[in-house]
């Protein structure tokens, strides 16, 4: 954030420094928790942690809501509640 450059590489592409800085200044603790949580769940080896973090943080505002919405959809309609014992599985023939 403090180094003045013309561009910053995000996901292998160069973006204007001011655009990246602006997006990073808009991040809040929810975005950071989301990125850290996703990193905890990944089983893929991260070769370049700095590049991974820059990309994940840059994209967090655009992906966080979709991620949590998908989790809710899974829990409510995809069997998640049944897996957790919160609902009884539908009997065969129930629609």
Q: Residue 62 — very low, low, confident or very high, per pLDDT cuts 50/70/90?
A: confident
pLDDT of residue 38: 86
Tell me the percentage of the chain whose pLDDT exceeds 70: 66
CB 54 within 8 Å of CB 7: no
pLDDT of residue 53: 92
Judged against a pLDDT cut of 80, whether residue 88 lies above it is answered with no
The tens digit of pLDDT for each residue in 21-57 reads: 999 999 999 899 989 988 888 899 989 999 999 999 9
């Amino acid at each position: 954030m403090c180094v003045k450059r013309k561009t910053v590489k995000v996901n292998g592409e160069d973006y204007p420094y001011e655009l990246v800085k602006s997006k990073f200044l808009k991040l809040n603790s929810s975005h950071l928790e989301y990125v850290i949580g996703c990193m905890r769940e990944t089983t893929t080896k991260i070769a370049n942690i700095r590049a991974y973090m820059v990309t994940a943080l840059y994209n967090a505002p655009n992906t966080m809501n979709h991620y949590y919405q998908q989790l809710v959809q899974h829990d409510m309609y995809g069997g998640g509640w049944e897996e957790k014992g919160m609902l009884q599985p539908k009997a065969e023939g129930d629609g």
